[in-house]
């Protein structure tokens, strides 16, 4: 019970921080809108197999991208906590490492989710009308994806000593994950090597599931239950890996 | 969490050692600190002060040896150690986007303090450090001294029996430093707790500490009250500046009235009883040997002289300057 309170306290701290930086929330919506409205609009006339409306098609992909960017970055932001000493305050407190990781992951995940939720009504802009069932399905998928990706960020942070690796993360982790996820094109018609990369990319399953939840009609790479299992497995494995990493005393 | 008063020591270390590769940061530290003491680890940068404290706070694991804090082993009972101590780190460790009260409340939850107790203690402690009226402002609007005071209050929130302060007044202006000393004294007195602090400011150690351990190059040199440490230097300190220090030392050693003599960078410090009467003799002897003396001064011994006596070197101003620069960089990054 006490540990739950502690997780809640760490979660709350993240949420308060997120809430107090409203300018960041607004600016984080600019990139997805550019992709959706400008890029999506420009590509509208391009014919892709199995794609009726390109903007409708990439909407779940852009949702996945928003979760990817904000989750990984807020995970990496633990470097600031370390640099500014706040991490020390938590690390010397009588609280288990698992609670620290879970609190941080849930807190950062909440921030990412809020950004995702703000995007949902914007689907109207590109002519998608989400059914109530879609919302119900989207929420758990977004949570799984966000928490797993925050842990990816936390793991990267544990390997980094400063924010100097910024470009490295961007070009070696975030962008490759984005481009091999099928966010911008159907994986079914992609070349073989790209498909293989997609099989190893948890975000590909996330985007697939988001797309399935948005309109239900798109054919997924693997059966839906298999993708749900894989994504859950990924998130669980990331939490375990993070807890282990943060338990090792330097 | 308040613990029952029990006999024994607040801190006891047993050959506590930390090595980083080939460098020995702390070499077989053996210390006994009694309850109620304000104990200061005094030494220059890199002496091993922070290393020692971070092992006692269970942030760092020793390479060999161990220690007990409040009777709990720092390796086997780390969790119990953590619950029974308060820590104010050298670098700021508050969240500057949260308000003072929010920082306190987070700390309370992490240390299992019920919310009614936490509210009461928070109000009391904020009053004590003079931050009541700013409790609901975000920390980024606080000055350096205010942040420090909040950290002090936070470190005491869970009623620890031992409070660790790592360089508590580093980077603060003299006035704020004085102010913080008052607070530390007041808190130690009111809460009746044991305080263990590190510092490289002589006046800080002299002002606050009931006992001082002089530490240099990873080794503890001597532990005693500031009074006894200074008293170890019998008589007054005569400082002589000359262009030929080694020749001067040879001459002066023939005069047998001084207790000790140390040469540091062309400055010679002599410990002499009734210095007023002996200075003319010293000058005479030097002049007779043809050694030119640039200046002579007499002063009552201070902790600085004692430090010099026990380590054979001085904590130089530039040491403090360097540390300050690193510290300021960390502070600036926060903004």
* Residue where a domain terminates, one of B229, B252, B278: B229
Whether the per-residue pLDDT at B41 is higher than 70: the answer is yes
- Supply the angle between the helices A54-76 and A202-215 in degrees, to the nearest 10: 140
| Domain CATH for B134 | 3.40.50.300
Residues B174 and B284 in one domain: no
* Residue where a domain terminates, one of B177, B201, B229: B229
Residues B280 and B179 in one domain: no
Three-state secondary structure call for residue B95? coil
Residues B219 and B88 in one domain: yes
- Mutate which of A3, A11, A82, A94 to test chain B, going by most B C-beta atoms within 10 A? A94
Q: Please name the residues between 20 and 59 in chain A that touch chain B, using a CB distance below 8 Å.
A: 20-21
Residues B109 and B161 in one domain: yes
Three-state secondary structure call for residue A133? helix
Whether the per-residue pLDDT at A214 is higher than 90: the answer is no
Over range A220-226, report the average pLDDT.
82
Residues B125 and B203 in one domain: yes
Give the DSSP letter string of A143-212: HHHHHHHHHHHHHHHHH-SSGGGHHHHIIIIIHHHHHTTTSSS-GGGS-HHHHHHHHT-HHHHHHHHHHH
Whether the per-residue pLDDT at B335 is higher than 50: the answer is no
pLDDT digits 0-9 by tens, B200-225: 888 899 889 999 999 988 889 899 99
Chain B environment of A19 (Cβ under 8 Å)? none
Contact A90 B110 (CB under 8 A): yes
Distance in angstroms (rounded) separating the CA atoms of residues A143 and A235: 10
Residues B68 and B185 in one domain: yes
Contact B110 A9 (CB under 8 A): yes
Looking at the domain assignment, is residue B159 inside a domain?
Answer: yes
CB pairs under 8 A between A and B: 71
Compute how many other C-beta atoms are within 10 angstroms of the C-beta atom of residue B12: 17
Looking at the domain assignment, is residue B49 inside a domain?
Answer: yes
CA atoms within 13 A on the CB side of A69: 17
ipTM: 0.83
Over range B9-30, report the average pLDDT.
92
Looking at the domain assignment, is residue B87 inside a domain?
Answer: yes
Percent pLDDT > 90 in chain A is: 42
Over range A7-20, report the average pLDDT.
93
Q: What is the CA radius of gyration of chain A?
A: 18
Q: Closest by alpha carbon to B88, among B132, B34, B129, B133?
A: B129
- Count of the separate structural domains present in chain B: 2
Residues B60 and B189 in one domain: yes
pTM of the shown model: 0.81
Looking at the domain assignment, is residue B308 inside a domain?
Answer: no
Looking at the domain assignment, is residue B275 inside a domain?
Answer: yes
Looking at the domain assignment, is residue B306 inside a domain?
Answer: no
What chain A residue is nearest to B113 in terms of C-alpha separation? Answer: A2
- Sort A45 into a burial class: Cβ within 10 Å, 0-12 / 13-18 / 19+: exposed
Cβ(B157)–Cβ(B94) below 8 Å: no
Least-confidence region, from A35-44, B63-72, B123-132, B246-255: B246-255
Q: Which of residues B45 and B112 earns the better pLDDT score?
A: B112
| Domain CATH for B248 | 3.30.70.260
Over range A153-171, report the average pLDDT.
82
- In b/e form, how buried is each residue of A166-177, taking b as 16+ CB within 10 angstroms? eeebeeebbeeb
**pLDDT at residue number B217:** 87
Distance in angstroms (rounded) separating the CA atoms of residues B129 and B151: 10
Residues B163 and B18 in one domain: yes
Percent pLDDT > 90 in chain B is: 41
* CA dihedral angle for residue B11, residue B13, residue B19, residue B24, rounded to 10 degrees: 100
**pLDDT at residue number A207:** 93
Over range B187-198, report the average pLDDT.
85
Looking at the domain assignment, is residue B326 inside a domain?
Answer: no
pLDDT digits 0-9 by tens, B250-269: 888 777 777 777 777 778 88
Whether the per-residue pLDDT at A45 is higher than 70: the answer is yes
What chain A residue is nearest to B77 in terms of C-alpha separation? Answer: A94
Chain B environment of A93 (Cβ under 8 Å)? 82, 107, 110-111
For residue B318, give how far its alpha carbon lies from the nearest alpha carbon of chain A (Å). 24
Whether the per-residue pLDDT at B295 is higher than 80: the answer is yes
What band does B324 get if pLDDT is binned at 50, 70 and 90? low
pLDDT digits 0-9 by tens, A90-146: 988 999 888 998 999 999 999 989 999 888 888 888 888 888 888 889 999 999 999
**pLDDT at residue number B66:** 94
pLDDT digits 0-9 by tens, B151-191: 999 998 998 999 999 998 888 888 888 888 988 888 778 77
Percent pLDDT > 70 in chain B is: 91
Distance in angstroms (rounded) separating the CA atoms of residues A153 and A105: 9
The beta-carbon neighbor of B109 closest among A9, A83, A92 is A9
Instruction: Report which DSSP code applies to B138.
Output: B
* Residue where a domain terminates, one of B229, B254, B276: B229
Chain A environment of B93 (Cβ under 8 Å)? 84-86, 88-89
Q: What is the domain range of residue B257?
A: 234-300
Residues B178 and B258 in one domain: no
Three-state secondary structure call for residue B232? coil
Looking at the domain assignment, is residue B238 inside a domain?
Answer: yes
What band does B321 get if pLDDT is binned at 50, 70 and 90? low
**Mean of per-residue pLDDT scores for chain B:** 85
Residues B145 and B274 in one domain: no
Least-confidence region, from A101-110, A236-245, B11-20, B233-242: B233-242
Residues B252 and B111 in one domain: no
Residues B74 and B144 in one domain: yes
Is A8 touching B (CB cutoff 8 A)?
yes
């Amino acid at each position: 019970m006490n540990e739950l309170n502690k997780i809640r306290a760490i979660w709350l701290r993240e949420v308060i921080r997120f809430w107090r930086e409203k300018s960041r929330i607004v600016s984080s919506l600019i990139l997805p809108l550019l992709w959706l409205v400008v890029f999506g609009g420009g590509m509208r006339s391009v014919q892709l197999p199995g794609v009726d409306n390109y903007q409708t098609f990439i909407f779940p992909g852009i949702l996945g991208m928003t979760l990817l960017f904000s989750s990984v970055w807020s995970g990496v932001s633990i470097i600031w906590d370390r640099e500014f000493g706040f991490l020390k305050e938590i690390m010397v407190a009588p609280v288990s490492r698992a609670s620290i990781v879970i609190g941080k992951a849930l807190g950062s995940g909440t921030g990412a989710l809020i950004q995702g939720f703000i995007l949902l009504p914007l689907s109207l802009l590109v002519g998608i009308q989400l059914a109530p069932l879609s919302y119900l399905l989207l929420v758990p998928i977004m949570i799984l994806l966000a928490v797993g990706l925050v842990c990816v960020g936390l793991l990267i942070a544990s390997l980094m000593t400063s924010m100097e690796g910024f470009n490295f993360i961007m070009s070696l982790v975030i962008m490759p994950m984005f481009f091999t996820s099928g966010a911008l094109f159907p994986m079914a018609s992609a070349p073989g090597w790209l498909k293989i990369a997609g099989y190893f990319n948890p975000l590909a399953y996330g985007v697939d599931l988001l797309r399935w939840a948005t309109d239900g009609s798109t054919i997924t790479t693997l059966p839906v239950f298999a993708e749900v299992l894989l994504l859950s497995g990924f998130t669980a494995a990331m939490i375990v890996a993070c807890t282990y990493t943060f338990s090792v005393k330097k | 969490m308040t613990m029952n008063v029990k006999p024994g020591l607040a801190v006891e270390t047993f050959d506590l050692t930390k090595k980083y590769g080939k460098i020995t940061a702390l070499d077989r530290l053996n210390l006994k600190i009694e309850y109620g003491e304000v104990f200061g680890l005094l030494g220059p940068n890199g002496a091993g002060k922070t290393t020692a404290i971070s092992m006692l706070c269970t942030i760092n694991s020793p390479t060999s040896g161990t220690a007990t804090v409040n009777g709990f082993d720092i390796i086997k009972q780390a969790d119990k150690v953590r619950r029974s101590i308060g820590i104010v780190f050298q670098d700021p460790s508050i969240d500057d986007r949260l308000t003072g009260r929010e920082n306190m409340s987070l700390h309370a939850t992490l240390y299992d303090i019920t919310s009614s107790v936490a509210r009461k203690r928070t109000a009391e402690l904020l009053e004590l450090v003079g931050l009541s009226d700013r409790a609901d402002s975000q920390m980024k609007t606080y000055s350096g001294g205010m942040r420090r005071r909040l950290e002090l209050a936070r470190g005491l929130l869970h009623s620890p029996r031992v409070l660790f302060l790592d360089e508590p007044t580093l980077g603060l202006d003299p006035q704020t430093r004085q102010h913080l000393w008052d607070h530390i004294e007041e808190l130690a007195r009111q809460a009746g707790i044991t305080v263990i602090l590190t510092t490289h400011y002589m006046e800080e150690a002299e002002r606050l500490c009931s006992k001082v351990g002089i530490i240099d190059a990873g080794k503890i040199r001597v532990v005693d009250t500031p009074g006894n440490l200074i008293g170890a230097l019998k008589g007054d300190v005569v400082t002589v500046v000359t262009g030929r220090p080694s020749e001067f030392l040879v001459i002066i050693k023939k005069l047998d009235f001084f207790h000790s003599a140390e040469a540091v960078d062309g400055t010679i410090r002599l410990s002499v009883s009734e210095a007023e009467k002996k200075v003319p003799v010293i000058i005479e002897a030097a002049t007779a040997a043809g050694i030119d003396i640039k200046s002579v001064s007499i002063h009552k011994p201070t902790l600085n002289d004692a430090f010099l006596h026990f380590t054979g070197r001085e904590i130089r101003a530039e040491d403090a300057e360097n540390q300050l620069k690193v510290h300021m960089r960390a502070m600036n990054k926060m903004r």
